């Protein structure tokens, strides 16, 4: 088990969200979409220029930019 930043996750890697550091607008948006501690995510792919990243959570696909992914800490095995 290792704790890393969402930005560092590789395509196809799974992990459990541990912490969301963002507050205010971005933080609210991230949480509203279900990115909260305890949820499992799988990195699905990256845009041609490596940013944004797309991931799967609760059965749907979500995208966010790398600098937004920075706020999310994930535990990966």
Partner 1 sequence: MNATVVLAGNPNSGKTTLFNELTGGRQHVGNYPGVTVEKKQGTCKCDTGRFEIVDLPGTYSLTAYSLEEVVARDFLVDEKPSMIINIVDASNLERNLYLSVQFMEMGLPVCIALNMMDVAKKRGIEIDIPKLSSLLKLPVIPIVARDGKGKQALMAAVTETVGQRPEPLRISYGRDLDAALDEMEALIRPAEFLTPQYDPRWTALKYLENDQQIMDRGYRQDKITAMKLDAIVQRVRIHIAQTLDTHPEGIIADHRYGYVHSVLKQGVIRFFQDENRIQVSDKIDRIVTNRFLGPVIMAAMLMGLYQFTFTLSEAPVAWLEGFFGWVSAMAEQALPDGMVKSLVVSGIIDGVGGVLGFVPLIMFMFFGIAFLEDTGYLARMSFMLDRIFRMFGLHGSSVMAFIVSGGIAGGCAVPGVMAARTLKSPKERLATLLTVPFMNCGAKLPVFALLTAAFFAESQAQVMLLITLISWTGALLVAWLLRSTLIRGESTPFVMELPPYRLPTLKGLLIHTFERIIQYVKKAGTVILLISIVLWAMMTFPGLDENQTKAFDDQRSLIVSDLSREAVDEVMTLEDEKLTQAMITVKENLLQVDADQAGEALKNSAAGRMGRALEGITRFAGFDWRTNIALVGGFAAKEVVVSTLGTAYSLGEVDPEETGTLSERLRTAEGWGPLTAFSLILFTIFYAPCFVTVVCIAKETGSWKWAAFSIVFNTGLALLVSTVFYQVGSLVLA
The contact set with partner 1 (CB under 8 A) reads 20, 23-40, 42, 44-45, 47-52, 54, 56-65, 68
Q: Tell me the closest approach of the beta carbon of residue 76 to partner 1, in angstroms.
A: 15
Q: Tell me the closest approach of the beta carbon of residue 69 to partner 1, in angstroms.
A: 10
Number of alpha carbons in the 13 Å side-chain half-sphere of residue 52:
9
- Element spanning 30, H or E: helix 24-32
* Cβ-based nearer residue to partner 1, 24 or 77: 24
């Amino acid at each position: 088990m290792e704790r890393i930043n969402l930005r560092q996750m590789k395509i196809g890697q799974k992990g459990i969200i541990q912490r969301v550091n963002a507050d205010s607008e971005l933080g609210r948006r991230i949480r509203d979409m279900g990115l909260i501690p305890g949820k499992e995510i799988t990195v699905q792919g990256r845009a041609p220029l490596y940013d944004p990243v797309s991931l799967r959570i609760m059965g749907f696909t979500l995208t966010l930019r790398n600098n937004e992914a920075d706020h999310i800490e994930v535990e990966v095995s």
